[in-house]
Structure 1
Amino acid sequence: MHAYLPAWVSLLIALIPFGLAPLLMATAFRLYYELRKRQNILISFLGLISFWIGYEYLHQSWDLAFPWMTLGNGFANFHQLVQWYSYTGVYGGTLWIWTVNILVFLFYWQKKHQIQAYSQKLIGLLIATITIIPIAVSLVQYSTYEEPANPSQVVVVQPNIDPYGKYGYIAPEEQLENLIRLSESVAQPNTEFFIWPETAISSRGGINEEDFRQYPAYERIVSFLGKYFNGNVLSGIESYALYDDKKTPTARPLGDKYVDSFNSSTLIDGSSKLQYYHKSKLVPGVEQMPFGKILAFMTPLFEHFGGTTGGYGKDTEPRVLYAQSGIGVAPTICYESIWGNYVSEYVKKGAQFIAVMTNDGWWKDTSGKDQHMAYAKLRAIENRRWVARSANTGISGFINQRGDVVQHTAWWVPAAISQEINLNDERTFYTEHGDIIVFIALAGCLAAFFLIILSKFKKMFN
């Protein structure tokens, strides 16, 4: 039931970011060059920082979004130094990197060319201050932060099924039994959440969300949960919905109906209640056609080749899933976990911990799987929430509210691990206010554009 683009189209779209990212970076520097020709060096550097953050924000917001490359992510492996992300988010890291590097450059440039536009002692003092103070503040935060005590027992499962061969060698029923077996191997009577990875629950052709209760898989999961008081399964699921008419832009004809396919998560408990969240941050080219409305005129061409301009259906905003006990969880799917602002929206809506359900086998044994795991540490710091990460392949684990990886699995092995985490209801400054630095930078971009255009007009009329 899933919608796939033709292979050549997917390949073409997948290559776009590799060409666009350098182009956008170069555009930021070109705009700085235009500003520098017209303004003093201080204004020009402020413009450069604004242009760069504007580029990073664009890469977070448009249909070819890929915020993986945001500079502030670079501190993911040094999370002890950026505990103040709970105030600024990753854009605080980007601003810090640019500020220190510009000051170092200015210090070197003045010394090399024997220029004293600004006091070298002052610049040196600023470099030391801006470098040391954030680190010192962060280390104090790290060493003194105490989690509110509100324990919950959670299990994450890593079934380790090769995504390239998943549909060729393992039946959905066998996959489900494997998940249950691994879960039971570490479960305790008070386990409240069993977290399974992206697309863990599946069926040939997908699962009809409306009729899921009639599927043997649902009955098997409810039977499994009967052993655990307040037990819940939070899992990725390949699902679809049927409509009588074209209810959404991504719905496509199926006989006398319309169908929407989803990369979803679902929360199953001992009751008959079912909750779904449909992945919103879809992978360009693989799960959605970028700029689908603009390229709608190409729909007949894609349909001729067996694809669709719509791709997967999606939710328009984050949705918190709630256990019967009232615990709220953020059901992030795959690379949604690299959007700091998006994850914080879950927390604002009541999520007490963050679950990441992913399938990192596409990376194979490369740094991609490690980076994806490390970026989850930043979400923990920004919101002061535990992260429970379940990867089909890749690295599964638990991250505490300071960003420490408390437990993790090895690469490419079936595993399940259990951890008592602390739920949190408190909101950080970042959770409440989001990416304030971005809005300041966008205002800086507008001001810089105005100065460039104003200068050109003055030159035309002089």
Structure 2
Amino acid sequence: MKKNILLAILSGLMLWIAWPPMPYTTFFLFIGFVPMLVAIENIIRSNYTRKGKKIFGTAFLGFFVWNTLSIYWVYNALKMVGEFVALPISFIPYSLGPLLMAAACWLYYRLRLVTNRGWSLAGLVCFWIGYEYLHQSWDLAFPWMTLGNGFAVAHQWIQWYEYTGVYGGTIWIWVVNVLSFLIYVGLREAADRKLRLRLISAFVIVLIGPLSFSLYKYHSYHEQPNPSNVVVVQPNIDPYAKESSIPAFQQLSILTHLSDSIGQPNTEFFLWPETAIPEQINEESVRTNAHFLQAQRFLSKYKNGNLITGAETFKLYNKHTTQTETYDPQGRLYYDNFNAALNIENSAEVQFYHKSKLVPGAESLPFAGALSFLKPVFAHLGGATGSYGGQTDPSVFYSQSGIGVDPVICYESIWGGWIAESVHKGAQFIAIITNDGWWENTSGKDQHVDYAKLRAVETRRWVCRSANTGISAFINQRGDIVQQSKWWVKTALKQDINLNSDLTFYVLYGDYLAQAGSILAVLGIVFIVVRKFRK
């Protein structure tokens, strides 16, 4: 059993070494699951009792090592609620993903009991995709560790994401790992020589085919000229000081000064980071808000200029209106708070977008319908947990000249399908506004900017990224970082980007691979149950 535990840990370490932002080691993704599969095979072929339990525990351990080493920085983000509380809470994201991953391996074992190894391995791929799709769709969503994200530092390898999205990467990784495992098992079991040759041939084709096609696409792809001048601003304001020691007007002065320092007469878009306007704004009276007027005065110098900025906003209701609202007994009103993006222009028009992919616990109350009785508890704690409203559909900001922009706030940038919906609606480039300062100088900030490269490839859109403390960047339609800032510096960047209105296959059809895989996973579970009862 110790050998199997060591194999599981080896898998976890190999997958961690392959994970962004590690450079030059991405290829370990293609063999990282092999030791885990060998450990599971050893348990299946052993005389152990309760094999399912041992497989689940072994798999969980390996995946826990991988996840914890890759997203250790979650602890830093939670320290704002207190170090004593941060450590136990951080074990939720550290453990939840591995529990679902281990469940996929357990289902693979159950399938092995009723069918052969080949069909069971195909089922394992479907079970894994089903887990990933669930983990981006339910109230505890955290798709940070979706396997296809692992190619974020090697975007030249996956230019075909414009057809498949990240789930194509998940399937590629698993198929290569399964073939590697079968080759190893064939050598260990002295399988037929012709079978081994077929497996090796399949391994080479499956590995080299997509890679060659991607490199061809990367080097042959050319953007159509359609320039627009964009400025991204990085004010570098300590997130712990944003709402306490630095007045809002002073923060806006920093932003406007940095914008003016490189803005030019033909600049069409200025991007300020998430919650750049730190004081709450009533959306109904935004045009008379002092901070809004300060921002619009700055913009008056740029005739065709638009300002996309993060802000804290709220809406008031006279009666019960939404599922996320809070009741104020003193004012006898209901209200919703929003982590919002605003598009401000040289007119009376103001466009709002409410962040919709909310961080479970920090920004939204998971399973709010069933746990609504906890709302008074969170209100008593200052509303820090589960306190934001959102919207059900993505939005597109349109400038006066008709340019469509997809506003993306922080955590939302890891949802390829959500961004693809905005592009389908008319977005010609992607504007990400974020504040990664909570994570401090950890690999979390690097992973976040690397994942944005995948969105550029999937949609063939430029990504313009404004981050409060970094890393701000411009990413072209091939996924190349054309410009980027350093961490924890006050700066601004400008770039002529090319707008694009063409729609990729992925934009048109979204996460069809994940949906198909999930359906097959459900059918696999039904098959297991039916065969068990028939026995």
TM class, shorter-length:
over 0.9
Distance of 1:302 and 1:201 partners within structure 2: 24
Q: Do the aligned partners of 2:363 and 2:384 also contact (CA within 8 Å) in 1? A: no
Moved more, 428-437 or 161-170: 161-170
- The CA deviation string for residues 289-327 of structure 1, in whole angstroms up to 9 with x for no partner, is 111111123344444544487520111110111111111
1:241 corresponds, among 315, 325, 332, to 315
Q: Do the aligned partners of 1:249 and 1:310 also contact (CA within 8 Å) in 2? A: no
TM-superposed CA distance for 1:41, in Å, is 1.3
Distance of 2:375 and 2:260 partners within structure 1: 47
- Are positions 1:136 and 2:212 aligned together? yes
TM-superposed CA distance for 1:443, in Å, is 2.3
User: Measured at CA, do residues 436 and 284 of structure 1 come closer, stay the same or move farther in structure 2, by a change above 3 Å?
Assistant: same
Moved more, 318-327 or 440-449: 440-449
The alignment of Structure 1 onto Structure 2 pairs a total of residues equal to 454
One-letter code of the match for 1:403? G
TM-superposed CA distance for 1:447, in Å, is 2.4
Q: Do the aligned partners of 1:163 and 1:362 also contact (CA within 8 Å) in 2? A: yes
- The CA deviation string for residues 253-280 of structure 1, in whole angstroms up to 9 with x for no partner, is 2212111110000000000001000000
User: Measured at CA, do residues 117 and 48 of structure 1 come closer, stay the same or move farther in structure 2, by a change above 3 Å?
Assistant: farther
- Are positions 1:312 and 2:385 aligned together? no
TM norm structure 2: 0.82
- How does 1:397-416 map onto structure 2 within 5 Å? 397-416=473-492
TM-superposed CA distance for 1:149, in Å, is 1.2
1:252 corresponding residue in structure 2: 326
Q: Do the aligned partners of 1:320 and 1:351 also contact (CA within 8 Å) in 2? A: yes
1:226 corresponding residue in structure 2: 300
TM-superposed CA distance for 1:450, in Å, is 2.3
TM-superposed CA distance for 1:55, in Å, is 0.6
2:121 corresponds, among 29, 32, 45, to 45
TM-superposed CA distance for 1:246, in Å, is 1.9
Distance of 2:185 and 2:140 partners within structure 1: 37
Moved more, 150-159 or 14-23: 14-23
2:57 corresponding residue in structure 1: none
One-letter code of the match for 2:475? I
1:77 corresponding residue in structure 2: 153
Q: Do the aligned partners of 2:362 and 2:385 also contact (CA within 8 Å) in 1? A: no
Distance of 2:496 and 2:311 partners within structure 1: 25
Identity of aligned residues (%): 54
Q: Do the aligned partners of 1:6 and 1:306 also contact (CA within 8 Å) in 2? A: no
Distance of 2:221 and 2:385 partners within structure 1: 48
Any unmatched runs of 5+ in structure 2? 1-79
2:417 corresponding residue in structure 1: 341
2:468 corresponding residue in structure 1: 392
2:362 corresponding residue in structure 1: 286
User: Measured at CA, do residues 303 and 235 of structure 1 come closer, stay the same or move farther in structure 2, by a change above 3 Å?
Assistant: closer
Moved more, 21-30 or 423-432: 21-30
Distance of 2:82 and 2:485 partners within structure 1: 35
Q: Do the aligned partners of 1:359 and 1:392 also contact (CA within 8 Å) in 2? A: yes
One-letter code of the match for 2:113? K
Q: Do the aligned partners of 2:237 and 2:468 also contact (CA within 8 Å) in 1? A: yes
- The CA deviation string for residues 414-439 of structure 1, in whole angstroms up to 9 with x for no partner, is 11000000000000000001112112
User: Which has the higher relative contact order, 1 or 2, with Cα contacts under 8 A spaced 6 or more apart?
Assistant: 1
User: Measured at CA, do residues 309 and 186 of structure 1 come closer, stay the same or move farther in structure 2, by a change above 3 Å?
Assistant: closer
User: Measured at CA, do residues 341 and 94 of structure 1 come closer, stay the same or move farther in structure 2, by a change above 3 Å?
Assistant: same
Distance of 1:299 and 1:122 partners within structure 2: 59
- The CA deviation string for residues 234-258 of structure 1, in whole angstroms up to 9 with x for no partner, is 0101111111112111111221211
Distance of 1:195 and 1:286 partners within structure 2: 25
What's the secondary structure of 1:357's corresponding residue?
strand
1:192 corresponding residue in structure 2: 268
1:55 corresponding residue in structure 2: 131
Q: Do the aligned partners of 1:13 and 1:285 also contact (CA within 8 Å) in 2? A: no
1:154 corresponding residue in structure 2: 230
Moved more, 296-305 or 421-430: 296-305
1:298 corresponding residue in structure 2: 374
Distance of 1:439 and 1:166 partners within structure 2: 41
TM-superposed CA distance for 1:34, in Å, is 0.5
2:350 corresponding residue in structure 1: 274
What's the secondary structure of 1:55's corresponding residue?
helix
- Are positions 1:121 and 2:176 aligned together? no
Distance of 2:266 and 2:153 partners within structure 1: 33
TM-superposed CA distance for 1:233, in Å, is 0.3
